[in-house]
C-alpha cells in the first residue's frame, strides 16, 4: 500500500493534467463566446507545451533551490488561481495569459513531484510508484475528455474553468497539510554549474531523448484520432468516448511498467516491449490493408497507447535514479520534461506534413517506426548506465 502523501502527489499530477486536457472539449464554446479562430485555438493548445519546451530545465534548477514540496504547492496554487481568473475573462488575449500562467504552474508540479515521491517512498516501492506517476497525463486528459463535453453542455466553459481551478486549490491545501516538508538542499553552486553537471551526464540526455521520441509519436497519433474518425463518419459522444478510451489505455502500460520492474524485468526489456508494441500498433492502425476494418484499426490504436505506456513509467523511474546527484533530481526531470514537450510540439506537425505530402495517413508509420527504432537503441545504453549505477551503489554500501 502506498503511503498517503505519495497518493496525494500522484493525485496532484492528475489534477495538473486536467488543465492540459480541459481546453480541447471547450474549444467550440470558446470559439462562440470569445471569437477564437482556429489559429488562436491552436495557440491556446500549444501554450503549455511551449512553456515546457523553453523553460522546463530552468524550472527544474529553480525547484531544486526552492524545495520540492514548496514548488509543488506553489505550482498548484498558480494553476488554480490562473484557472479561476480565466473563468472571468471576456477576451481571448486574457485567456491566453491565464493559460501561460497555468503552463508555469504545470511545470513546477511535474518537475518537483517525482523527486518528492523518491524521498517519500521506500526504495522497494519506487518502481511501482513511478509507474503510477507515469499515468498522470493520460489519466487527467482522459477524465477531461470524458467529463468535459457533458459538463460544458450544461454549465458552460467559465464554470468548467472555475471548478477545475477550485479542485486544484483544494489539492494544494491537501499537499500542504499532509506531505511533510522536505529539506531544501543548500548549495553554493550557481545555476550554470548545476546545469553543466546535469547536462554533462549521459543519463539525463538519454532519458530525455527517449521521452521525446515516445511523446512525439503518442501525441501525434492520439491527437489526430478525432480527425481520423471524424473523416470516417464517427461524431458526437461516440467520438469523445473513443478518444478518451484511447488516451486512458496508456494508464495500463504505465502501471504495468512499475510492477514489471519490481518483479525483476530489466529496464531495457520494458522499453523494448513498449516501443515494439507502439511500432506494431501504429503499423496496423494506418496501413492500407486494414482500412476496411475500422474497429481493428481502433484496437491497434489501443495497443499502441497501452503498450506505449510502458515507456514513460520506465523512464520516470530511470530519470530519478540516473540524476547526477541529489541537487540535480528536479533539474534532470526538467530536462526530461523539456525534451518531452519538444516531442509533443514537433510530432503532430511532422505527421501532418507527411500526410499532406503523400495525400493520406498511410505513411504515418514511417514516423512512428523511426521513433521506435531510436527509442530501442537508446534503451540499450540506458540499461548499461543503470546496471553501472547499481554496481556502484552496491560497492559503496559494502565499503
CA torsion 262-263-268-271 (nearest 10°) is -70
- Asked whether the beta carbons of 217 and 347 are under 8 A apart, the reply is yes
pLDDT at 169 > cutoff 90: yes
Going from the N-terminus, what domains does the chain have, and what CATH number goes with each?
4-174+190-390 (1.20.1250.20)
Cβ neighbors of 291 (< 8 A, separation 6 or more) are: 297
Q: How far is residue 392's CA from residue 380's CA, in Å, rounded to a whole number?
A: 19
CA torsion 306-312-317-323 (nearest 10°) is 170
pLDDT (tens digit, 9 = 90+) per residue, 15-61? 999 998 898 788 888 888 888 775 676 667 767 777 788 888 888 88
- What the block records as the C-alpha cell of 366 is 514511417
CA angle 245, 247, 250 (to 5 degrees): 105
Q: How far is residue 335's CA from residue 61's CA, in Å, rounded to a whole number?
A: 10
Q: How far is residue 47's CA from residue 147's CA, in Å, rounded to a whole number?
A: 22
Kindly state the percentage of the chain with pLDDT values over 90.
Answer: 45
pLDDT value at residue 318: 93
Cα-based distances in Å from 295 to 234, 288, 290:
12, 14, 9
pLDDT bucket at 293, cuts 50 / 70 / 90 = confident
pLDDT value at residue 233: 73
Kindly state the percentage of the chain with pLDDT values over 70.
Answer: 92
- If we measure between CA atoms, which residue out of 21, 28, 44 comes closest to residue 136? 21
- If we measure between CA atoms, which residue out of 86, 110, 83, 91 comes closest to residue 329? 110
Q: What is the pTM of this model?
A: 0.84
Cβ neighbors of 190 (< 8 A, separation 6 or more) are: none
Three-state DSSP class for 41?
Answer: helix
Three-state DSSP class for 263?
Answer: coil
pLDDT value at residue 220: 86
pLDDT (tens digit, 9 = 90+) per residue, 200-238? 999 999 999 999 999 999 988 887 777 677 667 776 678
pLDDT at 186 > cutoff 60: no
- Asked whether the beta carbons of 15 and 171 are under 8 A apart, the reply is yes
- If we measure between CA atoms, which residue out of 317, 389, 386 comes closest to residue 129? 317
- What the block records as the C-alpha cell of 79 is 494553476
pLDDT at 395 > cutoff 60: no
pLDDT value at residue 24: 79
pLDDT value at residue 188: 47
- Asked whether the beta carbons of 287 and 362 are under 8 A apart, the reply is yes
**Is 234 exposed, middle or buried, given 0-12, 13-18 or 19+ CB atoms closer than 10 A?**
middle
Q: What residue spans of 35-122 are helical by DSSP H?
A: 38-66, 68-86, 92-120
pLDDT bucket at 1, cuts 50 / 70 / 90 = very low
Q: What residue spans of 87-200 are helical by DSSP H?
A: 92-120, 123-133, 136-155, 157-178, 191-199
- What the block records as the C-alpha cell of 309 is 505506456
For cell 507502439, name the residue. 278
pLDDT (tens digit, 9 = 90+) per residue, 233-282? 776 678 778 888 998 999 999 999 989 998 989 999 999 999 999 999 99
Amino acid at each position: 500500500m502506498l503511503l498517503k502523501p505519495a497518493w496525494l502527489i500522484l493525485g496532484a499530477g492528475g489534477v495538473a493534467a486536467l488543465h492540459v486536457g480541459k481546453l480541447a472539449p471547450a474549444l467550440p464554446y470558446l470559439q462562440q463566446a470569445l471569437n477564437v479562430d482556429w489559429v488562436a485555438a491552436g495557440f491556446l493548445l500549444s501554450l503549455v507545451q511551449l512553456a515546457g519546451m523553453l523553460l522546463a530545465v530552468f524550472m527544474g534548477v529553480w525547484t531544486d533551490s526552492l524545495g520540492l514540496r514548496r514548488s509543488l504547492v506553489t505550482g498548484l496554487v498558480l494553476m488554480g488561481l490562473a484557472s479561476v481568473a480565466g473563468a472571468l475573462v471576456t477576451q481571448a488575449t486574457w485567456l491566453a495569459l491565464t493559460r501561460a500562467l497555468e503552463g508555469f504552474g504545470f511545470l513546477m508540479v511535474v518537475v518537483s513531484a517525482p523527486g518528492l515521491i523518491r524521498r517519500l517512498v521506500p526504495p522497494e516501492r519506487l518502481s511501482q510508484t513511478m509507474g503510477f506517476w507515469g499515468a498522470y497525463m493520460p489519466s487527467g486528459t482522459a477524465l477531461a475528455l470524458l467529463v468535459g463535453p457533458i459538463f460544458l453542455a450544461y454549465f458552460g466553459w467559465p464554470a468548467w474553468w472555475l471548478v477545475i481551478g477550485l479542485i486544484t486549490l483544494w489539492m494544494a491545501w491537501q499537499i500542504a497539510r499532509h506531505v511533510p516538508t522536505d529539506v531544501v538542499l543548500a548549495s553554493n553552486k550557481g545555476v550554470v554549474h548545476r546545469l553543466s553537471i546535469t547536462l554533462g551526464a549521459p543519463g539525463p540526455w538519454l532519458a530525455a531523448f527517449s521521452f521525446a521520441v515516445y511523446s512525439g509519436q503518442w501525441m501525434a497519433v492520439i491527437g489526430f484520432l478525432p480527425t481520423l474518425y471524424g473523416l470516417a463518419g464517427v461524431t458526437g459522444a461516440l467520438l469523445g468516448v473513443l478518444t478518451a478510451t484511447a488516451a486512458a489505455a496508456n494508464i495500463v502500460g504505465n502501471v504495468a511498467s512499475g510492477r514489471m520492474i519490481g518483479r525483476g524485468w530489466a529496464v531495457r526489456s520494458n522499453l523494448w516491449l513498449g516501443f515494439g508494441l507502439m511500432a506494431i500498433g501504429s503499423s496496423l492502425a494506418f496501413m492500407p490493408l486494414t482500412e476496411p476494418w475500422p474497429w481493428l484499426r481502433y484496437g491497434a490504436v489501443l495497443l499502441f497507447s497501452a503498450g506505449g505506456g510502458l515507456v514513460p513509467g520506465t523512464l520516470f523511474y530511470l530519470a530519478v535514479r540516473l540524476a547526477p546527484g541529489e541537487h540535480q533530481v528536479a533539474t534532470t526531470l526538467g530536462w526530461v520534461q523539456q525534451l518531452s514537450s519538444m516531442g509533443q510540439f514537433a510530432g503532430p506537425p511532422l505527421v501532418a506534413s507527411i500526410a499532406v505530402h503523400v495525400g493520406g495517413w498511410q505513411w504515418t508509420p514511417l514516423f512512428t517506426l523511426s521513433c521506435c527504432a531510436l527509442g530501442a537503441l537508446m534503451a540499450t545504453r540506458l540499461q548499461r548506465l543503470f546496471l553501472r549505477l547499481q554496481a556502484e551503489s552496491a560497492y559503496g554500501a559494502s565499503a
